[in-house]
Amino acid sequence: MGNGRQQHEEITAYLRSAISSHEFAPGDPLPSESELCQRFESSRGPVRQAMATLRSEGLISSGRGRRTIVLDTVPTQSFDGVISYSEWCRQSGFEAGQITQSVTRRPADPTLAAALEIEPRAPVVSIFRLRLLNGIPAMVERLNYPLEVGQHLLTFDTDSGSIYQHLIDSGVDINNATRTIDAIGADPDDAQLLGITEGAPLLRVRRRAFTSNGTPVESSDDRYLPGTASFTLNTIRGNPSPLSMVSAR
Amino acid sequence: MGNGRQQHEEITAYLRSAISSHEFAPGDPLPSESELCQRFESSRGPVRQAMATLRSEGLISSGRGRRTIVLDTVPTQSFDGVISYSEWCRQSGFEAGQITQSVTRRPADPTLAAALEIEPRAPVVSIFRLRLLNGIPAMVERLNYPLEVGQHLLTFDTDSGSIYQHLIDSGVDINNATRTIDAIGADPDDAQLLGITEGAPLLRVRRRAFTSNGTPVESSDDRYLPGTASFTLNTIRGNPSPLSMVSAR
DNA sequence: CGGGTTAGTGTGTCTATACATTTAGTCGTC
DNA sequence: GACGACTAAATGTATAGACACACTAACCCG
């Protein structure tokens, strides 16, 4: 031990890579817990912790008496890849690009103030960018930050790269995020930037990000061209999913 | 404890209800692990298992040295609610309805055969329904099953209720599902049934469901009217999310 | 009064053991 | 050869104890 990495993380990493390289193919059984215990000179705890992680990602299926088997391989993403468009492109092997339309400091309207849990008309920093995938328009991004967070961006060249990375480097604590996914017709700005007709279908992802003590640090609205991005989710029975479908009515 | 329920499930249920009733409000600390151990006369294992469940649902946030705190309340759903439109409506307090357009037995086209992992031109059962929310058109549903599974539906009144429930009752083992979410313009059928113009934005959810040994049992395509349904997902840093964004290019 | 030290609390991780429950396979008998 | 009972193996659950690491607050001292 003492390699700076917890045992259960090591086991998780080993199993994940072995699964994604099809060393353990879909339908195959995984090594039993006791085998893994021996191989990693560990007790059952860390092994079961690793299994639990993979199960919650939908990679494996297990049950009393049954061998644990590999399900159809599904890509899984890190938190960073899920919150940052730049990081997602990098992980997927694409080149991210951005053309900033505006960086604004303004008072929050009531809806935004509620989303950021700040006083109405409290100052916020808003960023409006067209984002590219391998040089082609792919997404329209509207980001809003409370001034305390957004001040780090007023002097940042928003055409140069990842805002998320810059905020992390500036010491902003981003711990968790809630995303809401729906479909919406393009508004005039969207249509012009993406080169489509007004009302054409877009995949909208609204995101709220929070610090570890629950303070909102971001409220954003991303609109993807269909065909550019889609979301895939794996759910296993008995494992309640973090995704919920909500009616707007 | 012989009450037919595992201890960790009991603790999970208690915490979940206490959180959703705002007995522990967002931002508040949860009781410490040792307190919960005493209250439930349990060791730390089950308590930590319950915590892990809630953490993976995005309900709480914890860390070394920090108290565990409640995050903004997010609705969470059971597997049944996530896979069955009827069950989802019931849980949300709405009334589900359905108007069957067609029930067809036909040979699978290549795409569908690949999705169900069966021979091309092997027989499948396809169901095409308009689904209602409180009596108003809300979603167009296209379901496809291999004959072995779909045979249970050929004699079933598809206007009467939940197909998912009927399959479960028929002994079909549905263990896990993969869903892909994107936006798409309405095709002529969609437009006519939902009363919208062709090309209007819809939220599409394609689903593949599997048995516990990995055999596909369903391949479906649901298209929701915007405003009817949206998806919400909570992600916590360090907790890899089962949702991944995939480029179609 | 301010600042550093220290004790206490709380969560994260790991070990070791025990038993329950379900599945799969083996053996034996009919 | 088929069927049943038994056995072994695998995962699920729970207990108890130990240490690591991080944060908090109280305390002491300059």
Tell me the per-residue pLDDT of B175-227, one tens digit each, with 9 for 90 and over. 888 888 899 999 999 999 999 999 999 999 999 888 877 788 999 999 999 98
Instruction: Please tell me the predicted confidence (pLDDT) of residue B2.
Output: 39
Instruction: Please tell me the predicted confidence (pLDDT) of residue A228.
Output: 85
Q: Which of residues 72-101 of B touch A (CB under 8 A)?
A: 72, 74-79, 81-83, 88, 92, 94
Same domain, B85 and B139: yes
Question: What string of H, E and C letters represents the secondary structure of A174-215?
Answer: CCEEEEEEEEEECCHHHHHHHCCCCCCEEEEEEEEEECCCCC
Tell me the per-residue pLDDT of B53-71, one tens digit each, with 9 for 90 and over. 998 888 888 989 889 999 8
Instruction: Please tell me the predicted confidence (pLDDT) of residue B1.
Output: 41
Residue B176: inside a domain: yes
Q: Which of residues 24-63 of A touch B (CB under 8 A)?
A: 26-27, 52-53, 56-58, 61, 63
Instruction: Please tell me the predicted confidence (pLDDT) of residue B75.
Output: 64
Q: Which residue has the higher pLDDT, B80 or B197?
A: B197
Query: pTM to 2 decimals?
Result: 0.80
Q: Give the domain extent around A47.
A: 7-70
Chain B interface includes A134 (CB < 8 A): yes
Same domain, B116 and B197: yes
The residue with tokens 């997010």 is B74
The reply to whether A212 has its C-beta less than 7 Å from any atom of strand C is no
Query: What's the DSSP call for residue B188?
Result: H
Instruction: Please tell me the predicted confidence (pLDDT) of residue A171.
Output: 80
- Tell me if B243 and A243 make a contact (CB, 8 A cut-off): yes
Q: Which of B58, B180, B185 is facing A231, going by the closest CB pair? A: B180
Residue A210: inside a domain: yes
Are B190 and B201 contacting, i.e. CB atoms less than 8 angstroms apart? no
Closest CA to A167 of A146, A187, A152: A152
Q: Long-range contacts for A193-197 (Cβ within 8 Å, ≥24 apart)?
A: A193/A101, A193/A130, A193/A137, A193/A140, A194/A130, A194/A137, A194/A140, A194/A225, A195/A137, A196/A225
Query: What's the DSSP call for residue B118?
Result: -
Same domain, B103 and B84: yes
Same domain, A38 and A96: no
| Integer CA distances (angstroms), B31 to A5, B18, B38, in order | 29, 11, 11
Which CATH number is A157's domain given? 3.40.1410.10
Instruction: Please tell me the predicted confidence (pLDDT) of residue A249.
Output: 54
- Tell me if B241 and A27 make a contact (CB, 8 A cut-off): no
Three-state SS at A57? coil
Same domain, A66 and A90: no
Output phi, psi for B6, to 5 deg.
-70, 150
Sequence-separated (6 or more) residues with CB below 8 Å from residue B129:
B98, B99, B100, B101, B140, B141, B143, B158
Please state the domain count of chain A. 2
Are A213 and B227 contacting, i.e. CB atoms less than 8 angstroms apart? no
Residue B143: inside a domain: yes
Same domain, B52 and B159: no
Sequence-separated (6 or more) residues with CB below 8 Å from residue B2:
none
- Tell me if B242 and A57 make a contact (CB, 8 A cut-off): yes
Instruction: Please tell me the predicted confidence (pLDDT) of residue B7.
Output: 92
Low-confidence stretches of chain A (pLDDT < 50) are 1-2
Residue A236: inside a domain: no
Instruction: Please tell me the predicted confidence (pLDDT) of residue B155.
Output: 87
Are A210 and B72 contacting, i.e. CB atoms less than 8 angstroms apart? yes
Is the four-CA dihedral B87, B88, B92, B93 of positive or negative sign?
negative
Instruction: Please tell me the predicted confidence (pLDDT) of residue B17.
Output: 92
Same domain, A141 and A200: yes
Instruction: Please tell me the predicted confidence (pLDDT) of residue B141.
Output: 96
Q: Which residues of chain B lie closer than 8 angstroms to A78, CB-CB?
A: 240
Same domain, B61 and B163: no
Q: Which of residues 7-26 of B touch A (CB under 8 A)?
A: 26
Residue B31: inside a domain: yes
Please identify, among B51, B70, B89, the residue that sits at the C-terminal boundary of a domain.
B70
Residue B233: inside a domain: no
Same domain, A131 and A208: yes
Instruction: Please tell me the predicted confidence (pLDDT) of residue A247.
Output: 65
Q: Looking at this protein, which amino acid is placed at residue B35?
A: E
- Tell me if B226 and A183 make a contact (CB, 8 A cut-off): yes
A82 CA to C15 C1' in angstroms comes to 35
